[in-house]
Amino acid sequence: MTDPEVVILNTGIANTASVIAAFERLGCRVLLTDDADTARNAELLVLPGVGNFSSGMDALLETGLDQVIRERVEHNRPLLGICLGLQLLCTSSEESPGVHGLGVMDASVTRFPAGVRTPQHGWNAVGDGYAYYSNTYRIESIPAGWDGIYSTHGGEFVACLSRGSILACQFHPELSGSWGESLLRKWIRTSVEVSSC
């Protein structure tokens, strides 16, 4: 596998610098875009996100990227969602009542219970490793049709979800050291293999 190109969506609400740096460390060519046609034709597409659910959906709707993402999930084309990028794939969020998410997975995003420290800011166990989180909202259970892994913070919550070449993480793999780097490398390898079938 030589120099795959990773297209990162520029939604205006994400700190993309760390995501770009992570993929460049893996030897990828990286393109930052908010153009729907460029995103539609991308071999590997990343939906990063930091911030508000409503603002995230507004950014996707304004650029037509909402439909691009729905099409990619429907056709199992490589997509990586990070933090808010995972939450936007859901139907709704308590953070923004009345705002519809992309709805590509049957799940709603809820706030951590009262009395639980929020945001969860720092490292937490995910399967056989540790990942870096910064979140106040989460998905409580793995939706039908998806594989997933849990973390624990005031009870179990979804750490990441996967299906084929689609991976969505509540944590930030780009900030999760060597474990996060190995996860990104595996996603790239799996995605390229799926795309070549």
Give the residue numbers annotated as catalytic, written as ranges.
83, 172, 174
R_g over Cα of the chain:
15
Would you say 46 and 14 are in contact if contact means Cβ atoms under 8 Å apart?
Answer: no
162 in Cβ contact with 192 (< 8 Å):
no
Beta strands in 70-119 (DSSP E): 79-82, 92-93, 108-111
Contact (CB, 8 A) for 152 and 124: yes
